[in-house]
Structure 1
Amino acid sequence: MTQQSRTSPAARGPGRRTVVGSMLGVGAAALAAPVLTACGGGPGSDPKTVTFGSNGADATPKSAYAALTSAFSKDSGLKVKTNTVDHDTFQKSITSYLQGTPDDVFTWFAGYRMRHFAKKRLCSPIDDVWETIGGGFSEATKQLCRGEDGKYYFVPLYNYPWAVFYRRSLFRERGYQVPRKWDEFVALAKRMKRDGLSPIASGYGGGDSWSVLGAFDYLNLRANGYDFHMRLMHGQVSWTDRRAARVLDLWRELTPYYQSGAGGRSWQDAAQSLLDKKSGMAVIGLFVGQQITDEKIRDDIDFFPFPEIDAAHGQDAVEAPTDGFMLSRRPRNADGARKFLEFLGSARAERQYMGVDPSNLAVHEKADTSSYNALQKKSARLIASARHISQFADRDSDPGFVATVLLPGLTQWLGHPDDGAGTLKRIESQRARFFTV
């Protein structure tokens, strides 16, 4: 996630990378009733209709999901009634939604975030679905789809990497070289600033505070390694640990080169500044491609892995969130929903989705990737080369902790980056509320 919001201000949303918001609190309950409710009725609902709760409110994923539901309906004779809600609202309302009368099938995220609802029994196991689709996925992908009890709860559709994106023509025109190490990265940012550019595009205003987690995760992964990062995300390490402090020290080096006014800007506006060559780089996901309408610009977009900080860890970890689908705890059309999930877990479904939305990568091992553009092919190679794959901080940690403690702490710190020790102390003071310390 996941994703992650990723829409225009009018349709706030792969957003699928958006954080949960007040996922475990009162705010979610207040939002859920009026805006994130199921499409269908009760037990007597139409057996020929499957309801589908989607967070794909952006134009591109909305069209891609429509292509999937249309193809399934044509094959199965079942109608899919889609309930589309903007991504940020979907995230904030999800707990109350699942506790009520949710749609039969709903979009969500693999890994920790899936296990959170499986453990709370707010979704149904789908081992029978995996008996049909299991041959198409790697063991690593299967692990992301299983709960703590070993049962399957998730059908994956796509993943996508985070990296440092840029425009090749800008680098060529200015004589910039792709950095591999931290010092080179900071030096390049300094040079871009002298050249009148915003070195690093940034926008975390409104519901887009999740976007700051990309930089935090990579700094921690590169400086302290995957194992420490995951222990920190799972609440097993103190946030006042010297290694966590080092992350903020490193981040402070970059803050002078962030685009000014980031706290009042959406991620889309920040991404647009990269496309318009007003910013030199952006730490962002492959979903930046959803902003592109000119194929000439798409061909000019490139990325490099987040730079090495400590040679002991190199660039061996990649952030690659995986998005897909889950089955509600009491689906009104259980048989139809399982047939829909079997279709969604097929190579054909992934091919159809990617044909509409080229900002993602298929995870099915038999999916046709011959139509991938250059950026997708390079992204697939990046993920394949990774020794470790993280999902994203808002997916690898307790959603309530991220939403109510970590994100507010980090975004506040970005406004005053001299108080690293105080920020970490405040975050640490809340750890025991969410994790067994």
Structure 2
Amino acid sequence: MTLHSRSLRTAAGPSRRTVLHGLFGVGAAALAVPALAACGAGGGSDPKTVTFGSNGGDATPKKAYAAVTDAFRKDSSLTVKTNVVDHDTFQKSISTYLQGTPDDVFTWFAGYRMQYFAKKGLATPIDDVWAKIGAGYSDATKQLSKGEDGKYYFVPLYNYPWAVFYRKSVFRQHGYQVPTNWSQFVALAKQMKKDGLAPIASGYGGGDSWSILGAFDYLNLRANGYDFHMSLMRGQAAWTDARAAKTIDLWRELAPYYQANGGGRSWQDAAQSLLDKKSGMAIIGLFLGQQVTEESLRSDIDFFPFPEIDPTYGQDTVEAPTDGFMLSRRPKNPDGATKFLEFLGSAKAEGIYMGIDPSNVAVNSGADKGSYNALQKKAADLIAGAKHITQFGDRDSDPGFISTVVEPGFTEWLNHPDDGSALLKKIESQRSRFFTA
């Protein structure tokens, strides 16, 4: 996808978020799209050809992938036959696609979404690939690339962090200081409101309800830690747990400082309000930079990690959705596909991609960062220093559960924040429909 799963690139980003609940088996057949389902047919039996199913249908990722596959051809003398499908279609058809005749290698997402298909036997373990590329990745990234059986199934390409973004000139003008803990954060929001700013940009209207998950995720991670958050996302912990209630209490404390009428605004409009100096902060991903074309404006944008709430957990976790590649269950050219994945996981390949698409950061520690702008450099450092990396609410959990239960519940609650008890009971009542013991 190219940018936060739903990334914001209407084709490569927002889609990440637009994964229908049928994706993981609910109505999968109904979502079949011939263009994707048939893309693996033909060409794969040629030992000199590797087939590649790509969701990079937008101009920028399409160009970037073309540069990467061309470089691989020159290095290996193997040809990559790329089947490009728009991001939304790819995601909506993925289940049927993988059960049919998929390409040898295909684009997908790390974490839960990868593990789901690995567990279903719809992907091939690639431990041999990781024996070659492993030195370039952090322990947190390695964990994201493993299935529940401990084997590797995923090769990362890029990621991008979520954080609290702001404009430097606004902070200078008002004398604001970057907060590092919860009390400072709330105090800053309160002061911004007094100064006539909408403290926190907000836009979750239409299909953008996913955008509010960033705040919930960070509140839960900072208050209750990585282990509980992931248990909640995986359906292993009850939403009526006192720790979840604590997260809602914190959110209610922050809610008065959200930009008014967020339900009638897109995430792009909310981000623009930050750029226009109408909002003081935005809890959003690095893809915010996609809306910036002037370097003078880009240089005025900065971010800080979501503040600490409980010192026990500090700021040890960073939300950094990670996109990359997987090997299909029965690749027609397994040797060629393995070589291709080894190349895709190399610092060289990541450098080539990032040289064309600057809205993300490379995951391989050896990738060339010489062309990075200041935001990319800071983003890379933030991710590199994380003890844990999460993938965002709708990537770390069943997307059907998130899109049909959690997101609607959160958006309704944000319109009239209360103690959240009814909200949490409602969500908990649906948990067993999506998760089995």
Change (3 A) 1:52 1:229: same
Q: Deviations along 1:158-196, whole A, 9 cap, x unmatched?
A: 222211011111211232222222232223223333333
> What SS class does the counterpart of residue 324 from structure 1 fall into?
strand
- Structure 1 counterpart of 2:80: 80
Q: TM-score, normalised by structure 1?
A: 0.90
- Structure 2 counterpart of 1:155: 155
Q: Does the CA-based 8 Å contact 2:57-2:87 persist in structure 1?
A: yes
> What SS class does the counterpart of residue 228 from structure 1 fall into?
helix
CA distance in 2 between counterparts of 1:362 and 1:37 reads: 30
> What SS class does the counterpart of residue 217 from structure 1 fall into?
helix
CA distance in 1 between counterparts of 2:322 and 2:332 reads: 27
Partner AA of 1:229 in structure 2 = H
Q: Does the CA-based 8 Å contact 1:6-1:58 persist in structure 2?
A: no
> 1:427 offset after TM fit, Å?
0.8
- Structure 2 counterpart of 1:352: 352
> 1:117 offset after TM fit, Å?
0.7
Structure 2: give runs of 5+ residues left out of the alignment.
none
CA RMSD of aligned residues (A): 2.5
Q: Deviations along 1:140-167, whole A, 9 cap, x unmatched?
A: 3222222222322111112222110111
Change (3 A) 1:84 1:207: farther
- Structure 2 counterpart of 1:389: 389
Q: Does the CA-based 8 Å contact 1:132-1:342 persist in structure 2?
A: yes
> What SS class does the counterpart of residue 219 from structure 1 fall into?
helix
Change (3 A) 1:224 1:40: closer
- Structure 1 counterpart of 2:277: 277
> 1:367 offset after TM fit, Å?
1.8
The 5 A counterparts of 1:309-388 are 309-388=309-388
> What SS class does the counterpart of residue 282 from structure 1 fall into?
strand
Change (3 A) 1:258 1:52: farther
The 5 A counterparts of 1:19-418 are 20-22=19-21, 23-26=23-26, 28-34=28-34, 36-42=36-42, 47-418=47-418
- Structure 2 counterpart of 1:4: 5
Q: Does the CA-based 8 Å contact 2:8-2:287 persist in structure 1?
A: no
Q: Deviations along 1:78-109, whole A, 9 cap, x unmatched?
A: 44343333434433332222222323221112
Change (3 A) 1:66 1:44: closer
Partner AA of 2:7 in structure 1 = R
Q: Does the CA-based 8 Å contact 1:6-1:87 persist in structure 2?
A: no
> What SS class does the counterpart of residue 429 from structure 1 fall into?
helix
Partner AA of 1:397 in structure 2 = S
Partner AA of 2:329 in structure 1 = R
Q: Does the CA-based 8 Å contact 1:6-1:268 persist in structure 2?
A: no
Q: Does the CA-based 8 Å contact 1:201-1:282 persist in structure 2?
A: yes
Partner AA of 1:351 in structure 2 = G
Comparing 143-152 with 188-197, which one deviates more in the overlay?
188-197
CA distance in 2 between counterparts of 1:227 and 1:390 reads: 11
CA distance in 1 between counterparts of 2:16 and 2:132 reads: 29
Q: Does the CA-based 8 Å contact 1:55-1:84 persist in structure 2?
A: yes
Q: Deviations along 1:299-342, whole A, 9 cap, x unmatched?
A: 11110111122233222222122221011222334333222212
Q: Does the CA-based 8 Å contact 2:321-2:391 persist in structure 1?
A: yes
Q: Does the CA-based 8 Å contact 1:6-1:267 persist in structure 2?
A: no
CA distance in 1 between counterparts of 2:33 and 2:149 reads: 31
Q: Does the CA-based 8 Å contact 1:413-1:419 persist in structure 2?
A: no
CA distance in 1 between counterparts of 2:416 and 2:38 reads: 42
Comparing 293-302 with 22-31, which one deviates more in the overlay?
22-31
CA distance in 2 between counterparts of 1:427 and 1:41 reads: 42
Comparing 417-426 with 255-264, which one deviates more in the overlay?
255-264
Partner AA of 1:262 in structure 2 = G
> 1:34 offset after TM fit, Å?
4.7
Change (3 A) 1:264 1:24: farther
Change (3 A) 1:7 1:121: same
> What SS class does the counterpart of residue 165 from structure 1 fall into?
strand
> 1:40 offset after TM fit, Å?
4.4
Q: TM-score, normalised by structure 2?
A: 0.90
Q: Does the CA-based 8 Å contact 1:240-1:428 persist in structure 2?
A: yes
Q: Does the CA-based 8 Å contact 1:19-1:394 persist in structure 2?
A: no
**Identical aligned pairs, as a percentage?**
74
